[in-house]
Structure 1
Amino acid sequence: MLTVSSITHVAIRVKDIDRTLDFYVNKLGFSELLRLDRDDRLWLVYLRITDDQYLEVFPEGQGVDAPGPEAVGYNHMCLAVPDIEQTVRELAAAGVPLTRPKIQGADGNWQTWITDPDGHRIELMQMAPDGMQATAIARLRGR
Structure 2
Amino acid sequence: MHSGPLLLAALVAAAAAPALMAQASSAPVRPPILGVAHIRLKTADLAAARNFYGRYLGYQEPFELDSLAVFKVNDRQYIEVEPTLKQESEDRLVHIAFETGDARRLRDYLASRLVEVPLAVKPDADGNLSFFIKDADGHSVEFVEYSKGSLHSRNFGKALPRTRISERMIHVGFTIQDRAAADKLYRDILGFRLQWYGGMTDERTDWVSMRVPDGTDWLEYMLNQPHPSPKTLGVMNHLALGVPSTEQGYKTVVERGMNQPDKPKIGRDGKWQLNLYDPNFTRAELMEPAPVQPPCCSPILAP
Q: TM-score range by the shorter chain?
A: 0.7 to 0.9
Change (3 A) 1:60 1:75: closer
Determine whether 1:19 maps to 2:182.
no
Shift of 1:121: 1.2
Map 1:61-72 to 2 at 5 A.
61-64=85-88, 66=92, 67-69=230-232, 71=233
For the pair shown, the structure with the greater C-alpha radius of gyration is 2
CA RMSD of aligned residues (A): 2.7
CA distance in 2, matches of 1:121, 1:89: 18
Map 1:1-143 to 2 at 5 A.
2=30, 3-37=32-66, 43-64=67-88, 66=92, 67-69=230-232, 71=233, 75-98=237-260, 100-128=262-290, 136-138=301-303
Change (3 A) 1:112 1:73: closer
CA distance in 1, matches of 2:276, 2:54: 15
Letter in 1 for 2:62: L
Change (3 A) 1:134 1:124: farther
What is the TM-score of this pair, normalised by structure 2? 0.39
Letter in 2 for 1:26: R
Q: Which has the higher strand share?
A: 1
Question: Residue by residue, what CA displacement relative to the aligned partner does 1:97-120 show, whole Å, maximum 9, x if unpaired?
Answer: 335321111112100111001111
Letter in 2 for 1:105: G
Of structures 1 and 2, the one scoring higher in RCO (CA 8 A, sep 6+) is: 1
Aligned residues: 132
**SS of match in other structure, 1:136:** coil
Letter in 2 for 1:20: A
Q: Which has the higher helix share?
A: 2
Identity over aligned pairs, percent? 29
Q: Which runs of 4+ in 1 moved over 3 A?
A: 71-74, 97-100, 129-135
Shift of 1:29: 0.3
Letter in 2 for 1:61: L
**SS of match in other structure, 1:100:** coil
CA distance in 1, matches of 2:275, 2:286: 6
Shift of 1:80: 0.8
CA distance in 2, matches of 1:60, 1:129: 38
**SS of match in other structure, 1:6:** strand
Gaps of 5+ in 1: 38-42, 139-143
CA distance in 1, matches of 2:288, 2:237: 19
Question: Residue by residue, what CA displacement relative to the aligned partner does 1:21-54 show, whole Å, maximum 9, x if unpaired?
Answer: 12111111011122122xxxxx222110111000
**SS of match in other structure, 2:241:** strand
**SS of match in other structure, 2:58:** coil
